[in-house]
Structure 1
Amino acid sequence: MTKIKLCGLRRREDVAMVNRAKPDYAGFVFAPGRRQVTAEQAESLRRQLDPAIAAVGVFVKAPVEEAANLANRGTIQLIQLHGEEDEAYAKALRERTKAPLIRVIRVRGPESLRDLERYDCDYFLLDTFSGSQFGGLGKTFDHSLLRQVRFPKPFFLAGGLDPENVRAAIDECHPFGVDTSSGIETAGTKDENKIRAFVSAVRKEEES
Protein backbone atom coordinates (compact mmCIF):
# COMPACT_ATOMS: atom_id res chain seq x y z
CA MET A 1 0.00 0.00 0.00
CA THR A 2 1.38 3.40 -0.99
CA LYS A 3 1.73 5.64 2.06
CA ILE A 4 0.06 9.06 2.07
CA LYS A 5 1.51 12.26 3.55
CA LEU A 6 -0.62 15.40 3.67
CA CYS A 7 1.54 18.42 4.44
CA GLY A 8 1.13 22.01 5.55
CA LEU A 9 -1.46 21.65 8.33
CA ARG A 10 -1.82 24.87 10.29
CA ARG A 11 -5.42 25.11 11.57
CA ARG A 12 -7.67 23.00 13.78
CA GLU A 13 -9.94 22.64 10.77
CA ASP A 14 -7.05 21.16 8.76
CA VAL A 15 -6.45 18.53 11.44
CA ALA A 16 -10.14 17.63 11.58
CA MET A 17 -10.20 17.10 7.80
CA VAL A 18 -7.08 14.97 7.93
CA ASN A 19 -8.41 12.89 10.83
CA ARG A 20 -11.45 12.04 8.75
CA ALA A 21 -9.34 11.15 5.68
CA LYS A 22 -6.87 9.01 7.67
CA PRO A 23 -3.58 9.39 5.79
CA ASP A 24 -0.43 7.78 7.17
CA TYR A 25 1.47 11.03 7.80
CA ALA A 26 0.65 14.68 8.41
CA GLY A 27 3.20 17.46 7.95
CA PHE A 28 3.82 20.55 10.08
CA VAL A 29 6.03 23.17 8.43
CA PHE A 30 8.41 24.98 10.76
CA ALA A 31 10.25 26.79 7.96
CA PRO A 32 9.33 30.40 7.07
CA GLY A 33 6.37 30.71 4.69
CA ARG A 34 2.62 30.93 4.64
CA ARG A 35 2.20 27.41 6.06
CA GLN A 36 4.63 27.93 8.94
CA VAL A 37 3.55 26.96 12.46
CA THR A 38 5.28 27.62 15.77
CA ALA A 39 6.28 24.89 18.18
CA GLU A 40 3.35 25.84 20.41
CA GLN A 41 0.88 25.67 17.52
CA ALA A 42 2.27 22.31 16.41
CA GLU A 43 1.95 20.88 19.92
CA SER A 44 -1.69 21.92 20.03
CA LEU A 45 -2.36 20.48 16.57
CA ARG A 46 -0.57 17.24 17.45
CA ARG A 47 -2.85 16.76 20.46
CA GLN A 48 -5.85 17.03 18.14
CA LEU A 49 -4.37 14.78 15.46
CA ASP A 50 -5.38 11.11 15.39
CA PRO A 51 -2.58 9.23 17.25
CA ALA A 52 -2.46 6.70 14.40
CA ILE A 53 -1.25 9.45 12.03
CA ALA A 54 2.48 10.17 12.33
CA ALA A 55 3.41 13.85 12.44
CA VAL A 56 6.34 15.00 10.29
CA GLY A 57 8.22 18.21 11.06
CA VAL A 58 9.47 20.05 7.98
CA PHE A 59 12.62 22.11 8.55
CA VAL A 60 14.88 24.31 6.42
CA LYS A 61 18.28 24.81 8.06
CA ALA A 62 16.76 25.07 11.52
CA PRO A 63 18.94 24.77 14.64
CA VAL A 64 19.57 21.09 15.35
CA GLU A 65 18.21 21.40 18.88
CA GLU A 66 14.91 22.81 17.61
CA ALA A 67 14.17 19.78 15.46
CA ALA A 68 15.48 17.27 18.02
CA ASN A 69 13.51 18.78 20.89
CA LEU A 70 10.24 18.71 18.96
CA ALA A 71 10.83 15.04 18.17
CA ASN A 72 11.86 14.11 21.69
CA ARG A 73 8.78 15.83 23.13
CA GLY A 74 6.57 13.79 20.81
CA THR A 75 5.26 16.80 18.90
CA ILE A 76 6.57 15.15 15.73
CA GLN A 77 7.56 11.57 14.98
CA LEU A 78 9.74 12.16 11.89
CA ILE A 79 12.08 14.96 10.83
CA GLN A 80 12.10 16.17 7.21
CA LEU A 81 15.20 18.06 6.11
CA HIS A 82 14.27 20.36 3.25
CA GLY A 83 17.17 22.80 3.23
CA GLU A 84 20.02 20.75 1.76
CA GLU A 85 21.50 20.29 5.23
CA ASP A 86 24.93 18.66 5.23
CA GLU A 87 25.88 15.31 6.72
CA ALA A 88 27.32 16.92 9.84
CA TYR A 89 23.82 18.27 10.52
CA ALA A 90 22.30 14.79 10.08
CA LYS A 91 24.93 13.29 12.38
CA ALA A 92 24.16 15.87 15.04
CA LEU A 93 20.47 15.01 14.81
CA ARG A 94 21.20 11.30 15.10
CA GLU A 95 23.10 12.00 18.31
CA ARG A 96 20.16 13.88 19.82
CA THR A 97 17.06 11.96 18.71
CA LYS A 98 15.94 8.58 17.46
CA ALA A 99 13.31 10.10 15.16
CA PRO A 100 13.60 8.86 11.55
CA LEU A 101 14.99 11.35 9.03
CA ILE A 102 13.46 12.19 5.66
CA ARG A 103 16.00 13.74 3.29
CA VAL A 104 14.51 15.94 0.57
CA ILE A 105 16.10 15.82 -2.88
CA ARG A 106 15.06 18.76 -5.04
CA VAL A 107 15.13 17.30 -8.54
CA ARG A 108 16.14 19.40 -11.51
CA GLY A 109 18.03 16.85 -13.61
CA PRO A 110 19.86 13.49 -13.52
CA GLU A 111 22.66 15.02 -11.46
CA SER A 112 20.24 15.50 -8.56
CA LEU A 113 19.84 11.75 -8.22
CA ARG A 114 23.47 10.63 -8.22
CA ASP A 115 25.39 9.17 -5.28
CA LEU A 116 22.33 8.86 -3.08
CA GLU A 117 24.20 6.43 -0.82
CA ARG A 118 26.10 9.36 0.70
CA TYR A 119 23.05 10.62 2.56
CA ASP A 120 22.31 9.53 6.12
CA CYS A 121 18.54 9.19 6.20
CA ASP A 122 15.71 6.70 6.57
CA TYR A 123 13.65 7.96 3.62
CA PHE A 124 14.07 10.25 0.64
CA LEU A 125 11.45 12.72 -0.52
CA LEU A 126 11.71 13.83 -4.14
CA ASP A 127 10.42 17.31 -4.84
CA THR A 128 10.64 19.83 -7.66
CA PHE A 129 13.66 22.13 -7.63
CA SER A 130 13.27 25.87 -7.27
CA GLY A 131 16.13 28.22 -6.62
CA SER A 132 14.05 30.49 -4.42
CA GLN A 133 11.58 28.25 -2.60
CA PHE A 134 11.76 25.00 -0.64
CA GLY A 135 8.65 22.97 -1.42
CA GLY A 136 4.99 23.85 -1.87
CA LEU A 137 5.42 24.88 -5.50
CA GLY A 138 2.62 22.79 -6.96
CA LYS A 139 4.85 21.85 -9.92
CA THR A 140 5.90 18.39 -11.04
CA PHE A 141 9.35 17.34 -12.19
CA ASP A 142 10.23 14.90 -14.98
CA HIS A 143 9.33 11.52 -13.49
CA SER A 144 11.13 9.69 -16.29
CA LEU A 145 14.37 10.65 -14.51
CA LEU A 146 13.59 8.01 -11.89
CA ARG A 147 13.52 5.06 -14.28
CA GLN A 148 17.24 4.31 -14.10
CA VAL A 149 17.75 5.24 -10.44
CA ARG A 150 18.28 2.63 -7.77
CA PHE A 151 17.22 4.11 -4.44
CA PRO A 152 19.09 2.87 -1.36
CA LYS A 153 16.16 3.92 0.86
CA PRO A 154 12.38 4.12 0.34
CA PHE A 155 11.21 7.38 -1.20
CA PHE A 156 8.21 9.67 -1.06
CA LEU A 157 7.18 11.32 -4.32
CA ALA A 158 6.17 14.99 -4.10
CA GLY A 159 5.95 18.01 -6.38
CA GLY A 160 2.67 19.02 -7.97
CA LEU A 161 0.69 15.92 -7.00
CA ASP A 162 -3.09 16.32 -6.84
CA PRO A 163 -6.18 14.08 -7.01
CA GLU A 164 -6.10 14.05 -10.81
CA ASN A 165 -2.47 13.00 -11.38
CA VAL A 166 -1.40 11.07 -8.28
CA ARG A 167 -2.57 7.65 -9.49
CA ALA A 168 -0.63 7.93 -12.74
CA ALA A 169 2.44 9.10 -10.82
CA ILE A 170 2.26 6.07 -8.53
CA ASP A 171 1.89 3.69 -11.45
CA GLU A 172 4.91 5.21 -13.17
CA CYS A 173 7.26 5.73 -10.22
CA HIS A 174 6.21 3.11 -7.63
CA PRO A 175 7.12 5.24 -4.60
CA PHE A 176 6.96 4.16 -0.98
CA GLY A 177 4.69 7.13 -0.38
CA VAL A 178 3.23 10.27 -1.94
CA ASP A 179 3.20 13.76 -0.48
CA THR A 180 1.06 16.79 -1.26
CA SER A 181 0.28 20.22 0.13
CA SER A 182 -0.83 22.70 -2.53
CA GLY A 183 -2.58 19.86 -4.39
CA ILE A 184 -5.18 19.63 -1.64
CA GLU A 185 -5.78 23.37 -1.31
CA THR A 186 -8.15 25.90 -2.81
CA ALA A 187 -7.03 29.52 -2.67
CA GLY A 188 -4.27 28.59 -0.23
CA THR A 189 -6.51 26.76 2.25
CA LYS A 190 -6.90 23.02 2.79
CA ASP A 191 -9.95 21.71 0.93
CA GLU A 192 -11.69 18.66 2.36
CA ASN A 193 -13.11 17.56 -0.98
CA LYS A 194 -9.62 17.56 -2.49
CA ILE A 195 -8.17 15.78 0.54
CA ARG A 196 -10.76 13.02 0.26
CA ALA A 197 -10.28 12.79 -3.51
CA PHE A 198 -6.50 12.53 -3.14
CA VAL A 199 -6.68 9.77 -0.54
CA SER A 200 -9.30 7.91 -2.57
CA ALA A 201 -7.21 8.13 -5.74
CA VAL A 202 -4.25 6.56 -3.96
CA ARG A 203 -6.11 3.83 -2.11
CA LYS A 204 -9.13 2.88 -4.18
CA GLU A 205 -7.34 0.77 -6.77
CA GLU A 206 -4.86 -0.67 -4.27
CA GLU A 207 -7.64 -1.90 -1.99
CA SER A 208 -9.62 -3.56 -4.78
Structure 2
Amino acid sequence: MSKIKICGLKREEDILYANDLMPDYIGFVFAGEKRKISFDQARLLKKKLNKRIGAIGVFVNEDIDNIISLANDNIIDIIQLHGDEDNDYIDKLRSKTDKKIIKAVRVKDKQDIINSKNINSDYLLFDSFTDKMYGGSGVSFDHNLLPDNKRDFFLAGGIKEEDIKDIVENMNPYCIDVSSSVETDGFKDYEKMKKIVKKVKMYSEGEIYE
Protein backbone atom coordinates (compact mmCIF):
# COMPACT_ATOMS: atom_id res chain seq x y z
CA MET A 1 0.00 0.00 0.00
CA SER A 2 1.73 3.15 -1.19
CA LYS A 3 1.20 6.52 0.42
CA ILE A 4 1.18 9.89 -1.35
CA LYS A 5 3.15 13.07 -0.65
CA ILE A 6 2.44 16.41 -2.30
CA CYS A 7 5.63 18.45 -2.09
CA GLY A 8 6.25 22.17 -2.44
CA LEU A 9 3.21 23.68 -0.73
CA LYS A 10 3.69 27.39 -0.18
CA ARG A 11 0.28 29.13 -0.14
CA GLU A 12 -2.72 28.97 2.16
CA GLU A 13 -4.72 27.72 -0.83
CA ASP A 14 -2.34 24.77 -1.10
CA ILE A 15 -3.02 23.85 2.51
CA LEU A 16 -6.78 24.07 1.95
CA TYR A 17 -6.41 21.78 -1.05
CA ALA A 18 -4.45 19.28 1.04
CA ASN A 19 -6.94 19.39 3.92
CA ASP A 20 -9.72 18.56 1.48
CA LEU A 21 -7.88 15.78 -0.38
CA MET A 22 -5.96 14.30 2.58
CA PRO A 23 -2.66 13.11 1.13
CA ASP A 24 -0.55 11.23 3.67
CA TYR A 25 2.18 13.85 3.62
CA ILE A 26 2.91 17.33 2.33
CA GLY A 27 6.31 18.90 1.84
CA PHE A 28 7.64 22.30 2.86
CA VAL A 29 10.74 23.17 0.83
CA PHE A 30 13.44 25.21 2.57
CA ALA A 31 15.91 25.24 -0.32
CA GLY A 32 16.27 26.40 -3.90
CA GLU A 33 14.17 29.22 -5.27
CA LYS A 34 11.07 27.97 -7.07
CA ARG A 35 9.21 26.45 -4.10
CA LYS A 36 11.24 27.72 -1.16
CA ILE A 37 9.38 29.13 1.83
CA SER A 38 10.67 30.80 4.99
CA PHE A 39 10.53 29.25 8.43
CA ASP A 40 7.88 31.79 9.42
CA GLN A 41 5.73 30.91 6.41
CA ALA A 42 6.00 27.24 7.29
CA ARG A 43 4.97 27.96 10.87
CA LEU A 44 1.79 29.72 9.71
CA LEU A 45 0.95 27.07 7.12
CA LYS A 46 1.48 24.19 9.56
CA LYS A 47 -1.06 25.72 11.96
CA LYS A 48 -3.67 25.47 9.19
CA LEU A 49 -2.73 21.92 8.13
CA ASN A 50 -4.94 19.02 9.19
CA LYS A 51 -3.10 17.23 11.99
CA ARG A 52 -3.59 13.87 10.28
CA ILE A 53 -1.32 14.99 7.43
CA GLY A 54 2.41 14.72 8.09
CA ALA A 55 4.55 17.75 7.24
CA ILE A 56 7.94 16.91 5.75
CA GLY A 57 10.66 19.54 5.73
CA VAL A 58 12.92 19.41 2.68
CA PHE A 59 16.48 20.68 3.21
CA VAL A 60 19.66 20.97 1.16
CA ASN A 61 22.88 21.16 3.20
CA GLU A 62 21.04 23.12 5.88
CA ASP A 63 22.52 24.17 9.22
CA ILE A 64 21.54 21.38 11.61
CA ASP A 65 20.43 23.81 14.30
CA ASN A 66 17.83 25.28 11.94
CA ILE A 67 16.39 21.84 11.26
CA ILE A 68 16.28 21.02 14.96
CA SER A 69 14.46 24.26 15.69
CA LEU A 70 11.74 23.45 13.15
CA ALA A 71 11.51 19.87 14.40
CA ASN A 72 11.30 20.78 18.07
CA ASP A 73 8.60 23.36 17.33
CA ASN A 74 6.68 20.63 15.46
CA ILE A 75 6.57 22.72 12.31
CA ILE A 76 7.88 19.63 10.56
CA ASP A 77 7.14 16.02 11.46
CA ILE A 78 9.74 14.33 9.26
CA ILE A 79 13.12 15.56 7.97
CA GLN A 80 14.07 15.12 4.31
CA LEU A 81 17.71 15.67 3.36
CA HIS A 82 18.12 16.37 -0.33
CA GLY A 83 21.71 17.59 -0.53
CA ASP A 84 25.17 16.20 0.17
CA GLU A 85 24.48 15.20 3.77
CA ASP A 86 26.43 12.11 4.92
CA ASN A 87 26.02 9.62 7.76
CA ASP A 88 27.88 11.90 10.20
CA TYR A 89 25.35 14.65 9.47
CA ILE A 90 22.48 12.19 9.99
CA ASP A 91 24.00 10.97 13.27
CA LYS A 92 24.21 14.56 14.54
CA LEU A 93 20.55 15.06 13.70
CA ARG A 94 19.61 11.84 15.49
CA SER A 95 21.41 13.00 18.62
CA LYS A 96 19.13 16.04 18.80
CA THR A 97 15.73 14.83 17.54
CA ASP A 98 13.66 11.68 17.29
CA LYS A 99 11.99 12.78 14.05
CA LYS A 100 12.25 10.27 11.20
CA ILE A 101 14.84 11.10 8.54
CA ILE A 102 14.56 10.63 4.78
CA LYS A 103 17.73 10.81 2.67
CA ALA A 104 17.35 11.53 -1.02
CA VAL A 105 19.42 9.57 -3.53
CA ARG A 106 19.82 11.21 -6.94
CA VAL A 107 20.02 8.28 -9.31
CA LYS A 108 22.40 8.39 -12.28
CA ASP A 109 23.20 4.69 -12.49
CA LYS A 110 23.11 1.39 -10.62
CA GLN A 111 26.07 2.36 -8.44
CA ASP A 112 24.01 5.10 -6.79
CA ILE A 113 21.49 2.46 -5.74
CA ILE A 114 24.24 0.19 -4.42
CA ASN A 115 25.84 3.03 -2.44
CA SER A 116 22.50 3.94 -0.89
CA LYS A 117 22.49 0.71 1.12
CA ASN A 118 25.05 2.28 3.46
CA ILE A 119 22.94 5.32 4.29
CA ASN A 120 21.62 5.13 7.87
CA SER A 121 18.43 7.16 7.40
CA ASP A 122 14.99 5.81 8.25
CA TYR A 123 13.87 6.04 4.64
CA LEU A 124 15.47 6.58 1.25
CA LEU A 125 13.99 8.77 -1.46
CA PHE A 126 14.98 7.90 -5.01
CA ASP A 127 14.93 10.87 -7.35
CA SER A 128 16.36 11.72 -10.76
CA PHE A 129 19.83 13.23 -11.10
CA THR A 130 20.24 16.62 -12.75
CA ASP A 131 23.45 18.64 -12.96
CA LYS A 132 22.04 22.02 -12.03
CA MET A 133 19.68 21.24 -9.15
CA TYR A 134 19.26 18.91 -6.19
CA GLY A 135 15.65 17.99 -6.90
CA GLY A 136 12.26 19.11 -8.13
CA SER A 137 13.29 18.89 -11.78
CA GLY A 138 10.14 17.07 -12.89
CA VAL A 139 12.36 14.59 -14.75
CA SER A 140 12.03 10.83 -14.31
CA PHE A 141 14.77 8.18 -14.15
CA ASP A 142 15.04 4.52 -15.09
CA HIS A 143 13.00 2.69 -12.48
CA ASN A 144 14.51 -0.61 -13.64
CA LEU A 145 17.58 0.40 -11.64
CA LEU A 146 15.69 -0.02 -8.37
CA PRO A 147 16.55 -3.27 -6.53
CA ASP A 148 13.95 -5.88 -5.65
CA ASN A 149 14.97 -6.15 -1.99
CA LYS A 150 14.97 -2.45 -1.18
CA ARG A 151 13.84 -1.13 2.19
CA ASP A 152 10.89 1.26 2.50
CA PHE A 153 11.45 4.14 0.13
CA PHE A 154 9.90 7.26 -1.33
CA LEU A 155 9.84 7.54 -5.12
CA ALA A 156 10.10 10.94 -6.82
CA GLY A 157 11.09 12.38 -10.16
CA GLY A 158 8.55 13.46 -12.76
CA ILE A 159 5.79 11.09 -11.64
CA LYS A 160 2.51 11.72 -13.44
CA GLU A 161 -1.04 10.54 -12.91
CA GLU A 162 -0.75 7.96 -15.68
CA ASP A 163 2.32 6.41 -13.99
CA ILE A 164 0.58 5.59 -10.71
CA LYS A 165 -0.89 2.19 -11.55
CA ASP A 166 2.43 0.77 -12.75
CA ILE A 167 4.38 2.26 -9.85
CA VAL A 168 2.04 0.96 -7.15
CA GLU A 169 1.59 -2.50 -8.66
CA ASN A 170 5.16 -3.15 -9.78
CA MET A 171 7.40 -1.11 -7.48
CA ASN A 172 5.28 -0.71 -4.35
CA PRO A 173 7.11 2.27 -2.87
CA TYR A 174 6.32 3.28 0.69
CA CYS A 175 5.33 6.69 -0.66
CA ILE A 176 4.96 8.40 -4.04
CA ASP A 177 6.30 11.96 -4.04
CA VAL A 178 4.93 14.46 -6.57
CA SER A 179 5.25 18.19 -7.09
CA SER A 180 5.56 19.62 -10.61
CA SER A 181 3.01 17.19 -12.06
CA VAL A 182 0.27 18.69 -9.85
CA GLU A 183 1.07 22.28 -10.79
CA THR A 184 -0.17 24.70 -13.43
CA ASP A 185 2.00 27.73 -14.21
CA GLY A 186 4.12 27.00 -11.13
CA PHE A 187 1.25 26.80 -8.63
CA LYS A 188 -0.47 23.80 -7.11
CA ASP A 189 -3.58 22.82 -9.08
CA TYR A 190 -6.47 21.41 -7.06
CA GLU A 191 -7.85 19.21 -9.85
CA LYS A 192 -4.44 17.72 -10.63
CA MET A 193 -3.83 17.06 -6.95
CA LYS A 194 -7.25 15.45 -6.64
CA LYS A 195 -6.67 13.09 -9.55
CA ILE A 196 -3.29 11.85 -8.38
CA VAL A 197 -4.29 11.46 -4.72
CA LYS A 198 -7.35 9.45 -5.71
CA LYS A 199 -5.32 7.31 -8.11
CA VAL A 200 -2.85 6.37 -5.40
CA LYS A 201 -5.63 5.52 -2.96
CA MET A 202 -7.51 3.56 -5.60
CA TYR A 203 -4.60 1.29 -6.48
CA SER A 204 -3.15 1.11 -2.97
CA GLU A 205 -6.33 0.57 -1.00
CA GLY A 206 -8.70 -0.87 -3.57
CA GLU A 207 -11.02 2.12 -3.29
CA ILE A 208 -13.18 2.95 -6.29
CA TYR A 209 -13.81 6.51 -7.39
CA GLU A 210 -16.05 7.94 -10.04
Which band: TM-score by shorter chain? over 0.9
Q: Does 1:168 align with 2:187?
A: no
Distance 2:204 2:87 in 1: 36
**What displacement does 1:149 show?**
4.5
Q: Which residue of structure 2 lines up, in the alignment, with residue 90 of structure 1?
A: 90
**What displacement does 1:150 show?**
2.6
Deviation string, structure 1 residues 135-185 (Cα, Å, up to 9, x no partner): 111111001111x4532x310111011212122222221111100000100
Deviation string, structure 1 residues 21-44 (Cα, Å, up to 9, x no partner): 101111000012110011100000
Q: Which residue of structure 2 lines up, in the alignment, with residue 53 of structure 1?
A: 53
Unaligned runs of 5+ in 1: none
Contact 1:113 1:149 in 2 (8 A): no
**What displacement does 1:78 show?**
0.4
Distance 1:86 1:206 in 2: 33
CA change 1:149–1:112 in 2 (3 A) is farther
Deviation string, structure 1 residues 63-86 (Cα, Å, up to 9, x no partner): 001111101110000000000211
Q: Which residue of structure 2 lines up, in the alignment, with residue 71 of structure 1?
A: 71
Contact 1:57 1:78 in 2 (8 A): yes
Distance 2:156 2:94 in 1: 25
Q: Which residue of structure 1 lines up, in the alignment, with residue 33 of structure 2?
A: 33
Distance 1:98 1:6 in 2: 23
TM-score by length of structure 2 reads: 0.95
Where 1:118 maps in the other structure, the secondary structure is coil
Which of 1 and 2 has higher RCO (CA within 8 Å, sep 6+)?
A: 2
Percent identity at matched positions?
39
Contact 2:105 2:116 in 1 (8 A): no
Contact 1:3 1:177 in 2 (8 A): yes
**What displacement does 1:203 show?**
1.1
Distance 1:57 1:141 in 2: 23
Between Structure 1 and Structure 2, how many residues are aligned?
206
Q: Which residue of structure 1 lines up, in the alignment, with residue 191 of structure 2?
A: 193
RMSD of the alignment, in Å?
Answer: 1.1
Unaligned runs of 5+ in 2: none
Where 1:27 maps in the other structure, the secondary structure is strand
